[in-house]
Structure 1
Amino acid sequence: MRILGKFVNQQQRLIDYLFIAMGSIIQAVSMRLFLIPGLMVSGGISGAAQIVNYFTNLPIGVMVLIGNLPLLALGWRYLGGRRFALRTAAAVILFSVFTDGLAFILPRNGLTEDILLDALYGGVLLGIGLGFVYRGRGTSGGSDILGRILNHYRGVAISQAYLITDGVVVLASGFAFGWDRALYGLIVIYISGLAAEMVSEGNSLYRTTFIITNKPQEVTERICTLLERGVTLIPGTGGYTGQARTMLYCVLSRAEISVLKTIVTEIDPQAFMVIGQANEALGEGFRPLSKD
């Protein structure tokens, strides 16, 4: 069993690094075909490197690598030690190498002179690359590391941390490239965030439901029979009436919500429902809960 476990872990590690390599290449292609020719930054160390490159012509990849070295040390110290540092280092090194290497292969002026197309396609490709890196349980370094440190140790929300770290670079790009380019850079950041989330988390968002009903057993039986989903019964007390009530908790796919509404309406039209959203569901009936 130990040998099998080691084999599975090594296989998963190999898959993770393949995801990281694929994501790093896609990010580099996005930079070389769209963002660098379009003079748009997406924040972070790579954005700062673009600005320095514009004035000094120093290689962007080399500057990204150098700029990430102290951040990698911080990540090792505060965010998970060896595994975090190795995966992030792999992502940073591959991104740096491909960003400079592709400059000799891809067209220097990119694919289009349309700034909007540069922003849209650059953002989508950049986000897909980031998503693959996240799926490999790595990070892209730079503002990722600073954002997580601010979140973990200072209580700053991740979104606010990214806004702070990336906002400074975007502001600097406004002075360097012009404010229209900086505004398009904000579009790149937004689109890349959406694409990264879809690739890393998938588009299979689930629905969480709380149902307060006077007929909990009937509703539960119908859900288990028709939808084949598990239901958790939670005892509660009405705050206004003081009466004992039973609340049902259930996780469903989006397509099953309409069926659930029909079930509850037919059995207890006076029931109260709250429907929320979950990014991921692990366990029986959903994705397997694998060991990280």
Structure 2
Amino acid sequence: MKSIVKNGLEIIAGALIYALAINYFLIPNRIGEGGVTGLTALGYYTFRIPPALTNFVLNGILILVGFKFLKRETVFYSLWAVLWISLFLRVPVFLPYHTSQTVIAAIAGGVLMGISMGLIFRAQGTIAGSTILAKIVNRYLGIRNGSAMLFFDLIVAIPSGMVIGFQNMLLTVLELYISAVVLNKYLDALGAKRSVLVFSKHNQAIGKALSTNLGQGVTMLKATGFYSQQEMDALFYICSNRDWTAVMPIIMSVDPEALVVTDQVRSVRGFHLPEL
């Protein structure tokens, strides 16, 4: 229940930032978007269709697709995100950001969009639209969420130049690129794991210290030195970035001469990390 409440609140925060980016930076400066959001903006520019209505209808269709390919919890969190985005998009806009330097609006909108989607993705949800498709591609092909999302967004953004003009189409592409980069960096910084491989004569003691202090399992592997042909244990450990700062001091306190190999891990499946 604690996890559900935490994810729900993160999604609400992400939805608020997302709506601020759309209503205060993108629409006032006629900057488009990709995916369903891009179609939402085009519908508003061309036919004055309320963004909340277009967002809800089109995303509802894509969420039905998500039921077939994604986990049920992801789909339900996505519904929660779409609901709050639709509500926040209906909030009256006060002091929208109009500027002749529209590149500033594109950069600001891209950063806010990246942060908002990072919050929602971290909470196991999506904003539907292209992010549903990106999640599916990430799950089955391993392509990073931001990169997959950028591909699907550009399919809508580039043709939008016929409605919003060539210059604004270029600004849209810039905004999409920035949001994809921010999303990837956000997920890498907060969602990635680290793997640790330790070679030491004291691996049993190191494993016990890591397990006792950090409360996670440690894997012992059998290894053989090529030159000496001597068998020894190799310790393999996966941790969050939050715990990483404690891992090296624990290892060094047991064996300062241990050989430690570390690497950044983009995705871990079937592995439980407490309170993440």
Structure 1 pair 204–88 and aligned structure 2 pair: CA distance change class (3 A) = closer
Q: Distance in 1 between matches of 2:206 and 2:133?
A: 49
CA displacement at 1:28 relative to structure 2: 0.8
User: Secondary structure of the residue that 2:79 maps to in structure 1?
Assistant: helix
Q: Which residue is 1:98 aligned to?
A: 88
Tell me how large the CA RMSD over aligned residues is.
4.0
Q: Name the SS of the counterpart of 1:210 in structure 2.
A: strand
2:44 counterpart (28, 48, 53): 53
Of 23, 26, 29 in structure 2, the residue corresponding to residue 38 of structure 1 is 29
Maintained 8 Å contact 1:23/1:133: yes
Equivalent residues in 2 for 1:1-292, closer than 5 Å: 9=1, 12-81=3-72, 83-99=73-89, 101-102=90-91, 104-108=92-96, 110-152=97-139, 155=141, 157-159=143-145, 161-193=148-180, 195-196=182-183, 203=190, 207-212=194-199, 215-217=200-202, 224=209, 232-238=219-225, 243-250=230-237, 253-255=243-245, 267=257, 271=259, 273-278=260-265, 288-289=274-275
C-alpha displacement of 1:276: 0.6
Cα distance between partner residues in 2 of 1:207 and 1:137: 20
Gaps of 5+ in 1: 1-8
Structure 1's 220 and 64: CA in aligned 2 closer, same or farther, altered over 3 A? same
Contact 1:207/1:277 (<8 A) preserved: yes
Q: Deviations over 1:32-84 (max 9, x none)?
A: 11111233334220112212322222222211122122212212233234x44
* Distance across 1 between alignment mates of 2:31 and 2:227: 56
**Contact 1:223–1:260 (8 Å) recurs in 2:** no
Distance 2:142 2:219 in 1: 34
Distance 1:44 1:240, change over 3 A: farther
Q: Percent identity?
A: 24
> Matched residues in 1 for 2:4 and 2:246: separation?
35
Query: SS state of the match for residue 159, structure 2?
Result: helix
Question: Is the CA contact 1:236–1:245 (under 8 Å) kept in the aligned structure 2?
Answer: yes
TM-score, normalised to structure 2's length?
0.73
Distance 1:216 1:115, change over 3 A: farther
Distance of aligned partners of 1:49 and 1:255 in 2 relative to their CA distance in 1, 3 Å threshold: same
Shift of 1:91: 1.8
Contact 2:115–2:182 (Cα < 8 Å) also in 1: yes
Cα distance in 1 for residues equivalent to 2:49 and 2:244 = 50
Q: CA deviation at 1:85?
A: 3.9
Could you tell me which runs of 5 or more consecutive residues in structure 2 were left unpaired when the two chains were aligned.
none
CA distance in structure 2 between the partners assigned to 1:123 and 1:148 by the alignment: 19
Give the whole-Å Cα distance in 2 for the aligned partners of 1:158 and 1:279.
Answer: 9
Q: Secondary structure at the match of 2:196?
A: strand
Q: Distance in 1 between matches of 2:149 and 2:115?
A: 18
Residue-pair matches, total:
266
Contact 2:14 2:117 in 1 (8 A): yes
Per-residue deviation at 1:22? 2.7
Cα–Cα, structure 1 residues 220 and 111, in superposed 2: closer, same or farther, change >3 Å?
Answer: farther
